[in-house]
Chains A and B, each alone.
Chain A
Amino acid sequence: MSKIIKVGMADANVCVAPDAITTLGLGSCVGIVLYDPVGKIAGLAHIMLPDSTKIFNNSNKYKFADTAIDLLIVDMLKIGANRYNLVAKIAGGAQMFNFGSSSEMMRIGERNVEATKEKLAQLGIKLLAEDTGANYGRTIEFYPETGLLHVKAVGRALKII
């Protein structure tokens, strides 16, 4: 029996095929899927903020793009993933409200996506696909069996990347 593992905001988890992993209602947050296609092992982090070094209260490492990716890799290695097989798919980083301003707070989704990509590039993890930006929330499900990321949104067709 396969099950679907749920990941909350500022949290992360791992799964092995045939199980799947999901996170619901991504807004400006970014869902980062790391995947080992050989071992069919996946990890998913739901990050809220781009940079742990800019925030003084950073006890939850899964909250930030940079530290969440580091930790997620460690979690995946523990269940047998190979560091050098890892590839990534990301979704989210929307701008939920049309603030029409370029202030720091308003661009948070965009900055989350930028920080995620930067961190992945730094670690040499290839970004295979993304569904980011725009102004709507997303629910994502990742199936390590197929390596496909299902992206659902209110009033939109299912997108598979």
Chain B
Amino acid sequence: MSDLDLNKISNMQYDVLREIGNIGAGNATTALSQLLNCRIDMKVPKVDLLEFKELSDIVGGAERPVVGILFTLEKDIDGMMMFMMDMSASRYLVNMLLGNSQPERVSDDCGFSELELSALSEIGNIIAGAYLSSLSSLTNMTITSSIPYMAIDMAGAILSVPAIEFGKIGDKALLIETEFGDIDKTVNGYFILIPTLNSYTAILNSLGL
């Protein structure tokens, strides 16, 4: 049984979770940088405990179309991992990866081809894989992730999936948000790690807390 309450999380535990986000996102950003063969910087991750009604504001409004790639986690850590990008960031990444001739082309609709969708899904896969493997070696726990599940829709609608998982354990969602981008053009990405309550305890225990 778990004795962790998200509302009563200590500063120490908060810092540890932030550090997990830092290490995870750092590795993920490195992976992305190697994939695209260009320099990608990341900002300091933000760890937020948000109420559900505030949740969709972090990505610029509930109605904003975004690409969401979701993984379910198993073994020592149960839960979900979500990687979210806005449409222009996704378009930019796909163009860079596929070497499209008009890298400035930014489309606000869902105008991705089959190949581009597959590339996006692979970007998500590599980034999430890097995030999770660093988390795994840090905590010495086995984490297996599912294949990437992708959806292109309103941010609020996509966020409802992990929000519902949080809804089962409390009235707030814990979110680790990291922004990354190259020098010329910032592209926004959000990593959301959603362990179950028991897995939070397991993570903290594995680090001796």
Which residues on the B side are within 8 Å of A55 (C-beta)? 167-168
Which residues on the A side are within 8 Å of B170 (C-beta)? 57
Q: Chain A nearest CB: distance from B188 CB in Å?
A: 18
Q: With an 8 A cutoff between CB atoms, is B36 at the interface?
A: no
Closest to A139 in B: B63
Q: With an 8 A cutoff between CB atoms, is A85 at the interface?
A: no
Within 8 A of A (CB), among B149-164: 149-161, 163-164
| A35-43, A76-84, A95-103, A121-129: which lies at the interface | A95-103
Q: With an 8 A cutoff between CB atoms, is B189 at the interface?
A: no
Report whether B167 and A10 are in contact in the complex, using a CB–CB cutoff of 8 Å: yes
Which residues on the B side are within 8 Å of A29 (C-beta)? 160, 163-164
Most buried by B among A24, A25, A59, A94: A25
Which residues on the B side are within 8 Å of A63 (C-beta)? 52, 167, 171
Please measure, in the bound complex, the distance between the C-alpha atom of A139 and the C-alpha atom of B64, giving whole angstroms.
11
Q: Chain A nearest CB: distance from B26 CB in Å?
A: 27
Known: A9-B55, A29-B160. Contact between A96 and B171, CB under 8 A?
no
Q: Chain A nearest CB: distance from B112 CB in Å?
A: 12
Please measure, in the bound complex, the distance between the C-alpha atom of A10 and the C-alpha atom of B164, giving whole angstroms.
10
Report whether A27 and B63 are in contact in the complex, using a CB–CB cutoff of 8 Å: no
Report whether A27 and B157 are in contact in the complex, using a CB–CB cutoff of 8 Å: yes
Closest to A137 in B: B157
Report whether A49 and B168 are in contact in the complex, using a CB–CB cutoff of 8 Å: yes
Report whether B156 and A24 are in contact in the complex, using a CB–CB cutoff of 8 Å: yes
Q: Chain A nearest CB: distance from B52 CB in Å?
A: 4
Closest to A60 in B: B171
Please measure, in the bound complex, the distance between the C-alpha atom of A10 and the C-alpha atom of B156, giving whole angstroms.
12
Interface size for B (C-beta < 8 A) is: 36
A contact face: mostly helix, strand, loop, or mixed: loop
Within 8 A of A (CB), among B91-143: 109-110
Q: With an 8 A cutoff between CB atoms, is B179 at the interface?
A: no
Closest to B156 in A: A25
Within 8 A of B (CB), among A13-30: 24-29
Please measure, in the bound complex, the distance between the C-alpha atom of A154 and the C-alpha atom of B61, giving whole angstroms.
14
Which residues on the B side are within 8 Å of A135 (C-beta)? 151
Instruction: Out of A11, A28, A57, A136, name the residue touching B169 (CB < 8 Å).
Output: A57
Report whether B153 and A137 are in contact in the complex, using a CB–CB cutoff of 8 Å: yes
Within 8 A of A (CB), among B63-82: 63, 65, 68, 70, 72
Which residues on the B side are within 8 Å of A26 (C-beta)? 156-157, 160
6 of the cross-chain contacts (CB-CB < 8 Å) are: A9-B53, A25-B160, A48-B52, A55-B168, A57-B169, A154-B110
Residues of B within 8 A of A (CB): 51-56, 61-63, 65, 68, 70, 72, 109-110, 149-161, 163-165, 167-171
Residues of A within 8 A of B (CB): 8-11, 24-29, 48-49, 55, 57, 59-60, 63, 94, 96-99, 105, 108, 135-139, 153-155
